[in-house]
Amino acid sequence: MSVNKSLQAVLAPQVTEKATMIADKHNQIAFKVKKDATKKEVKEAIELMFKVEVTAVNILNMNGKTKRAGKLMGKRNDWKKAYISIKTGQEINFTGE
């Protein structure tokens, strides 16, 4: 598997109240990933980008919300979320320091 494809699997970190609670309690970080990303690709990308040891990857398919604007119905895009468990004692620093 190419390193370039692995690095493109991770799109962005999920910074939400729930993600913050999970990070503090279970030492897990939430990321938004591509729809076709696999656990192996996500693991390789996180280890290369942040220089941490990943112990587990859990991937969820998130359904887009149905929205309404007057008479028109619409739907947001479906997306994929990954919860990354990292080795205890390690942390991911998003500021780049």
Which range among 2-6, 19-23, 76-80 shows the weakest confidence by mean pLDDT?
2-6
95 assigned to some structural domain: no
pLDDT band at 92, cuts 50/70/90? confident
pLDDT exceeds 90 at position 81: yes
pLDDT band at 96, cuts 50/70/90? low
pLDDT tens digit sequence for 18-76: 998 998 898 899 999 999 999 999 999 999 999 999 999 999 999 999 999 999 999 99
Q: What is the pLDDT of residue 52?
A: 92
Q: What is the pLDDT of residue 23?
A: 87
First vs last Cα of the chain: how many Å apart? Answer: 29
pLDDT exceeds 80 at position 1: no
32 assigned to some structural domain: yes
What CATH number does residue 7 fall under?
Answer: 3.30.70.330
Structural domain of 32: 3-86
72 assigned to some structural domain: yes
The domain tally of the chain equals 1
Measured distance CA(2)–CA(79) in Å, rounded: 23
96 assigned to some structural domain: no
